Amino acid sequence: MQNKIVFISGASSGIGEACAHKFASQGANIIINGRNEEKLAKIKVEIETKYKTNVLILAFDVRNRELAEESIDTLAPEWQNIDILINNAGLVIGMDKEYNGNPDEWDTMIDTNIKGLLNMTRFIVPGMVERNRGHIINIGSIAGDAAYPGGSIYCATKAAVKALSDGLRIDLVDTPLKVTNIKPGMVETNFSVIRFRGNKDSADNVYKGITPLTGDDIAETVWYVANTPAHVQIAEVLLMPTNQATGTIAYKTTSK
């Protein structure tokens, strides 16, 4: 991984930030993307100080196709040869019934989770194909396997991530490029706070009685799949806390 270039969308917190630290700790140079430039700047300082590797900030919203394309097209030569694309940017808002949902929130989820992933794939993967090397790692979700109450739109977007991952793998079958869909179960990050529209108490209640996964747990898995031999492609990984069985079934105690 020494001197490889890893692009991570949604890197200002949670899984994306953890991935940035993990890959940097192994000698990779990191391009961190997100909307919050101030947070990205702090992460850049932390990583460059701790790991003595290089970090480039690209602050833009993956939903903004024009700015995304411009940002990738104008990369300095030393940053152009991206080896690993981690499509991590994504979110869920609300727990409304589908027929009561907020269409503006639908747009935000669909445009970020699906179109944002497509934007970054479109602007980065052609370069990988031209160089005949690369790995695309999409952060999906257990929610893409089956719908759950109050989550139909989000579940649909993560089902789309699976379909897009599978389709891209088919499109790249005649190349050495790899495509992996990582599907976490319960992960305790700022993700749930956004789901509950900023209500941290409601977000915290999701994890009471169970030891959830962390961003670092997901980053370790991403690191693993990115380091298999050239002839080994891990197409999909579903990982959950030990006491979670499906997207809707988990065992919680009252003592935790």
Q: How far apart are CA 60 and CA 34, in angstroms?
A: 6
| Cα torsion angle, 116, 117, 122, 125, sign | positive
List C-alpha distances in Å: 242 to 27, 212, 245: 31, 8, 8
List C-alpha distances in Å: 212 to 90, 182, 217: 19, 16, 10
Burial class (CB in 10 A: 0-12, 13-18, 19+), 137: buried
What H or E segment, with its residue span, contains residue 182?
strand 178-184
Residue 141 gets which letter from DSSP?
Answer: -
Q: How far apart are CA 177 and CA 156, in angstroms?
A: 26
Length of the chain in terms of residues written: 256
Q: How far apart are CA 165 and CA 26, in angstroms?
A: 26
3-state helix, strand, coil in the chain (%, to 5): 45, 15, 40
Query: Is 154 part of the annotated catalytic residue set?
Result: yes
Catalytic residue, candidates 51, 148, 154, 251: 154
Which of 120, 113, 86 is closest to 195 using CA atoms?
A: 113
Positions marked catalytic: 154
